[in-house]
Chains A and B, each alone.
Chain A
Amino acid sequence: MTRALFLFLLYACSLSAHAAPDAALVRQLADDDSSVKVAAIQKLTLSADPDTLRVLAAMAEDKLYLAGDKVVIIDGEKVFDAATGAPLKAPENAESVTVNNRIRGELASALAALKLFDTDVNVRLASAQKLQSSVSGEMAPLLARALEKESDGRIRALLTLAHAQASLGSADPAVRLAAVRALAETSSPAIKSVLLPLTEKANESDNRVRFATISAIKAIDARLARAENLGRVFSGLSLGSILLLGALGLAITYGVMGVINMAHGELLMVGAYAAYAMQSIFRSYFPQAIDWYLPAAIPVAFFAAAAVGVLMERTVIRWLYGRTLETLLASWGVSLVLIQAARVLFGAQNVEVSNPSWMSGGIELLPNLILPWNRIVIVGFALFVLTLVWVLMNKTRLGMFVRAVTQNRAMAGCVGVPTARIDTLAFALGAGIAGLGGLALSQISNVGPDMGQGYIVDAFMVVVLGGVGQLAGAVWAALGLGVATKLLEGWAGAVIAKIAVLVFIIVFIQKRPQGIFALKGRSVE
Chain B
Amino acid sequence: MHKPITLRVINALDRKSALALAVFLALTLFAVPLLHLMVPPESAWHVSAYAITLFGKIMCYAVVAVAMDLIWGYGGILSLGHGLFFALGGYAFGMYLMRQIGRDGSYQSDLPDFMVFLDWKELPWYWSGSDSLWWVAALVVVIPALIAFVFGYFAFRSRIKGVYFSIITQALTYAAMLLFFRNETGFGGNNGFTDFKRILGYSITSPYTRLVLFGLSALMLAATLIFARALVRSKYGRVLTAIRDAESRVMFIGYNPLWYKLFVWTLSAVLCAIAGALYVPQVGIINPSEMSTANSIEIAIWVAVGGRGTLIGPVIGAFVVNLAKSWFTVSFPEYWLFFLGLLFILVTLLLPHGLLGLWKKLRQSRGVRA
Check B168–A333 contact: CB distance below 8 A. no
Decide: B344 and A330 in contact? CB cutoff 8 A: yes
Chain B's closest residue to A318 (CB) is B349
Near A by CB (< 8 A), chain B positions 166-186 give: 166-168, 170-172, 174-175, 178-179, 181-182
Contact B342 A509 (CB under 8 A): no
Main secondary structure of the interface of B (DSSP, over half): helix
The answer to whether B174 and A513 have CB atoms under 8 Å apart is: no
Q: What are 14 sample pairs from A and B whose C-beta atoms fall under 8 A apart?
A: A316-B349, A324-B163, A328-B78, A329-B304, A329-B347, A332-B341, A334-B341, A461-B171, A464-B168, A495-B178, A495-B182, A499-B178, A502-B174, A503-B175
Chain A contact residues, CB within 8 Å of chain B: 260, 262, 316, 319-320, 324-330, 332-341, 343-344, 453, 456-457, 460-461, 464, 495-496, 498-499, 502-503, 505-507, 509-511, 513, 517, 523
A499 → B minimal CB distance (Å): 5
Interface residues of B (CB under 8 A from A): 78, 151, 154-155, 157-160, 162-164, 166-168, 170-172, 174-175, 178-179, 181-182, 293-294, 297, 300-301, 304, 334-335, 337-338, 340-345, 347-349, 352
20 new A-B pairs (CB below 8 Å) besides A336-B337, A495-B182, A503-B175?
A: A316-B345, A320-B348, A320-B349, A324-B162, A325-B78, A325-B163, A327-B348, A328-B163, A334-B345, A336-B341, A340-B338, A343-B334, A460-B171, A461-B171, A502-B174, A506-B151, A509-B164, A510-B154, A510-B157, A523-B162
Chain B residues with Cβ under 8 A from A513's Cβ? 158-160, 164
**In chain B, what residue has the closest Cβ to A468?**
B164
- CB-CB under 8 A from B171, the residues of chain A are 457, 460-461, 502, 505-506
Complex: chain B residue closest to A262, CB-CB: B297
Check A336/B344 contact, CB under 8 A, given A495-B179, A498-B178: yes
- Bound CA span A297–B367, Å: 59
* Chain B residues with CB under 8 A of A336: 337-338, 340-341, 344
Bound complex: CA A158 to CA B272 (Å): 67
> What CA separation (Å) do A341 and B335 show in the bound complex?
10
* Interface class of chain A by DSSP: helix
Alpha-carbon distance between A262 and B294 when the two chains are bound, in angstroms = 11
Q: Please, which residues of chain B bring their CB within 8 A of the CB of A517?
A: 160, 164
Q: Which A residues touch B157, using CB under 8 A? A: 510
Which chain A positions have C-beta within 8 A of B179? 495, 499
A-B contact count (CB 8 A): 124
Q: Which residues of B contact A339 (CB under 8 A)?
A: 337
Residue in B166, B175, B345, B352 whose CB lies within 8 Å of A333: B345
**Which residue of chain A lies nearest to B303 when distances are taken between CB atoms in the complex?**
A329
Q: Judge whether B301 and A325 touch: CB under 8 Å.
A: no
Question: In chain A, what residue has the closest Cβ to B153?
Answer: A510
Q: Chain B residues with Cβ under 8 A from A507's Cβ? A: 154
Q: Indicate if the CB atoms of A337 and B341 lie closer than 8 Å.
A: yes
Q: Out of B159, B172, B340, which one reaches A506, CB within 8 Å?
A: B172
**Structural contact, A499 and B175, CB atoms closer than 8 A:** yes
Task: Pick the contact of B297: A329, A337, A338, A495 (CB < 8 A).
Answer: A329
B174 and A330 contact, CB distance less than 8 A: no
Q: Are A340 and B341 touching (Cβ within 8 A)?
A: yes
Which 10 A-B residue pairings sit nearest by Cβ, starting from the closest?
A: A333-B344, A336-B341, A337-B341, A340-B337, A502-B175, A333-B345, A330-B348, A333-B341, A513-B158, A510-B154
A511 to B155, CA, bound (A): 9
Give chain A residues whose Cβ lies under 8 Å from the Cβ of B334.
340, 343-344
Contacts of A260 in B (CB 8 A): 163, 166-167
Report the bound CA distance from A506 to B84 in whole Å: 15
Shortest beta-carbon distance from A508 to chain B in Å:
10
Question: Residue A325 contacts which of B155, B162, B172, B337 (CB distance < 8 angstroms)?
Answer: B162
Q: Which of B174, B182, B300 contacts A329 (CB 8 A)?
A: B300
Instruction: Return chain B residues, CB-CB under 8 Å to A461.
Output: 171
Question: Which residues of A have CB within 8 Å of B349?
Answer: 316, 319-320, 330
Across the two chains, which residue of chain B brings its CB closest to A517? Answer: B164
Contacts of B300 in A (CB 8 A): 329
Q: Separation in Å of the A229 CB from the closest CB of chain B? A: 25
Q: In whole Å, how far is B39's beta carbon from the nearest beta carbon of chain A?
A: 39
A330 and B158 form a contact (CB under 8 A): no
Q: How far is the CB of B297 from chain A (nearest CB, A)?
A: 5
Q: Is the CB of B340 within 8 A of A509?
A: no
* Partner pick for A457 among B151, B170, B344, CB 8 A cutoff: B170
The CA of A499 and the CA of B182, in the complex, are separated in Å by 11
Chain B nearest CB, measured from A349 CB (Å):
14
